[in-house]
Amino acid sequence: MPSVLDKAQSILKDTYGYKEFRPLQRDVISYAIDGNDSLVIMPTGGGKSMCFQLPALAQEGACLVISPLISLMRDQVEALKQNGVASAYLNSSLTGKEQNIIEEQFLSGEIKILYVSPEKLLTRDFFNVLKSVTLNLIAVDEAHCISQWGHDFRPEYTKLDFLKKQFPTVPIMALTATADKATRTDIASQLGIPHAKTFLASFDRPNLDLTVRAAQGRLESIIGMINRAPDESGIIYCLSRKSCEKVAEKLQAKGIDADFYHAGMPADVRNKTQERFIRDDLKVVCATIAFGMGIDKSNVRWVIHYNLPKNLESYYQEIGRAGRDGLDSKTLLFFSYADVVQLKQFMEDSPQKALLEAKLQRMQQFAEATTCRRRVLLSYFGEQLETDCGNCDVCRNPPEFMDGTILAQKALSASARTQEKVGSRLLIDILRGSGRQEIYQLGYQNIKTYGVGKEHSYFDWQHFIGQFLNLGLFEIAFDNHNILRITEHGKKALRGEVPVQITKPESVNERNQRLTPA
Ligand code: ADP
Ligand code: ZN
């Protein structure tokens, strides 16, 4: 007799028209069919829906899917219906009458997969319905919503622990694309399935080149890159609507086939831009994060971040729009402290400030990594690479280190002599002995460290200060004009108690090469 898993396999073929399971899907499906609880972590597009739909269809009874988004439910149910699967959804977009009809169908066994919103699930009426049907699986989609650590926390999701209590024999499958450890542990414990097995799909996209560069001169850099391969499609993500427009305009002025896209445009204009991009009538889109949701274009050859994303989840999702066809594609992130400062300001009034800042810090650590970037990125998603990737800028060009003790002492001492009243720009000007007016107005030309860093360029000093910030010698006072404050660790370095190892700055040659358009 064919096993239930065999049956699932033939449904995959006959109903969905796919030849085989993706590697992890088979394991997840078979584990659920055996009646076990699981936590499934797969990147977006990884094929999570199949994981609960197939056990549902291959067995007696029905599957209940808890989903937080009305639009998502509608899409999935529509797709299922097109494949001839008896499914429906229940949420506040339906009238009471419509809901009653669906509940009747569910009770009579006509529906195999029922999507519900958490609000609906928590009503007494619906609970009574649930008690009268045979469930073969409970799937909790977008399960990160359960966790305060997740990025779309939904209070109703914290009440889902009643499911395991009321239906102890029905396996629970929690699914998400967000995989940081805190969130994962939270999901399992809050659902009352602490022993659930975790299935973690690889988040690696080896065909994507990961490169990070300092933001200075980024526009020239971008123009150079586009001109070297003018026929390739790419997306430039910018932080603000205004910068999307500005960047697009500057590219157009250089004869580049570019346009912009953001949520502030009329919907029809926006859709047209998207259409043109998808049809290859437009090569370059300068966009806010609003762009890319649900667009399926396989030949995007590069994704550039003009500004720093707010966390690694967003970064991963956005670079993921490149190279869906599996061919080599470039991703390039421009990093500046100014962006960190601005993002922090956005987070200032959020009730989740501490969490958002911690995530931003991880983003920053990625941008400043001196080890294989793919390792840093994947480890954030709980995955360890066996070897360095060879397809990131750090692997290709491992940074050279130098002793930065004296440089750090110069900078720390100059800052101390201003009573820690200056930001990095003014500090660099003091160190380089700049004659600009502000220095004289404040009398900084008289301090002992004025001009002691003359032998290094402004760019070098920016790099050094960045390194000192990384190493925690300085911190930025975001609440006070972004001035630099000396930390306890910085004081030790100033007294010569700890050595300071930093990476070498880019040489003038390297810089010129990078900025010269082809
Ligand atoms: P997720 O929910 O993880 O973002 P989906 O479940 O929407 O991903 O699946 C992404 C795409 O992959 C869908 O178009 C789906 O039909 C397709 N897919 C899923 N499993 C398979 C498979 N075994 N073979 C081929 N395509 C698949
Ligand atoms: Zn690498």
Q: How many residues does the chain have?
A: 518
Nearest protein CA to atom 18 of ligand 1, as residue: 47
Q: Is the pLDDT of residue 307 over 60?
A: yes
Instruction: Report CA dihedral (27, 32, 35, 36) to the nearest 10 degrees.
Output: 70
Q: How far apart are CA 305 and CA 393, in angstroms?
A: 15
- The span from the CA of 58 to the CA of 9, in Å, is 9
The whole-chain average pLDDT of the chain stands at 92
Residue 243, pLDDT above cutoff 50 = yes
Helix (H) or strand (E) holding 258: strand 258-261
Distance 76 CA to ligand 1 centre (A): 11
Q: If you average pLDDT over residues 3-7, what whole number do you get?
A: 93
Pocket-testing residue among 13, 16, 19, ligand 1, by greatest number of atoms within 8 A of Cβ: 16
Q: How far is the C-alpha of 415 from the C-alpha of 401, rounded, in Å? A: 24
Contact 274, 261 (CB under 8 A): yes
- Residue of 49, 141, 324 to test ligand 1 pocket, by largest number of atoms within 8 Å of CB: 49
Task: Report pLDDT for 195.
Answer: 93
Residue nearest to atom 5 of ligand 1 (CA): 47
- With 50 as the cut, is the pLDDT of residue 145 above it? yes
pLDDT of residue 518: 38
Q: How far is the CA of 33 from the centre of ligand 1 (A)?
A: 19
Question: Can you tell me the mean pLDDT for 65-72?
Answer: 90
**Ligand 1 neighbourhood includes 49 CB (under 6 angstroms):** yes
The residue type found at 23 is: P
Angle at 338 between CA 410 and CA 488, to 5 degrees: 40
Nearest to 239 by CA among 374, 380, 334: 334
Closest protein CA for atom 13 of ligand 1: 47
Residue 517 pLDDT exceeds 60: no
Check if 217 has its Cβ closer than 6 Å to any atom of ligand 1: no
Label the pairing between strands 62-66 and 113-116.
Answer: parallel
pLDDT (tens digit, 9 = 90+) per residue, 17-64? 999 998 899 999 999 999 999 999 998 878 999 999 999 999 999 999
Half-sphere exposure of 179 (CA within 13 A, CB side): 22
Q: Is 48 in the pocket of ligand 1 (CB under 6 A)?
A: yes
Q: Kindly report, residue by residue over 92-102, the tens digit of the pLDDT.
A: 999 999 999 99
Task: Find residue 444's DSSP bridge partners.
Answer: none
Mean pLDDT of 236-258: 96
Do 211 and 331 meet the contact criterion of CB atoms below 8 Å apart? yes
Whole-angstrom Cα distance, residue 429 to residue 149?
A: 41
Which ligand sits closest to the CA of 375?
Answer: 2
Of ligand 1's listed atoms, the one at least distance from the Cα of 19 is 24
pLDDT of residue 511: 67
For ligand 1, say whether the CB of 21 is within 6 Å of any of its atoms: yes
- For residue 259, pLDDT over 90 is answered with yes
Judge if the beta carbon of residue 166 lies within 6 A of ligand 1.
no
Rounded mean pLDDT, 246-256: 97
Q: How far is the CA of 374 from the centre of ligand 2 (A)?
A: 5
Nearest residue (CA) to ligand 1, atom 10: 45
Q: Whose alpha carbon is nearest atom 17 of ligand 1?
A: 47
Pairing type for strands 329-335 and 300-305 reads parallel
- Residue 516 confidence (pLDDT) above 60: no
| Among candidate residues 454, 448, 485, 449, the one with its CA nearest the CA of residue 468 | 485
Mean pLDDT of all residues in 271-278: 93
- For residue 4, report the phi and psi dihedrals to the nearest 5 degrees: -65, -35
CA torsion sign for 263, 74, 319, 463 is positive
Kindly state if the Cβ of 26 falls inside 6 Å of ligand 1.
no
- pLDDT for 211: 96
Of 100-104, 194-198, 467-471, 479-483, the poorest mean pLDDT is in: 479-483
* Closest of 115, 9, 101, 119 to residue 62, by C-alpha: 115
The answer, yes or no, to whether any atom of ligand 1 lies below 6 A from the CB of 18, is: yes
Q: What end-to-end distance do the CA atoms of the chain give, in Å?
A: 65
C-beta 45 within 6 A of ligand 1: yes
- Whole-model pTM: value is 0.76
- Taking alpha carbons only, the member of 444, 429, 498, 446 closest to residue 468 is 498
CA 305 to ligand 1 center in whole angstroms: 27
Per-residue model confidence (pLDDT) at position 515: 54
Give the whole-number percent of the chain exceeding pLDDT 70: 97
Distance, CA 210 to ligand 1 centroid (Å)? 25
What ipTM was predicted for this assembly?
0.97
pLDDT tens readout for residues 372-408: 999 999 988 878 888 999 999 999 989 899 999 999 9
Q: What is the mean pLDDT of residues 200-217?
A: 92
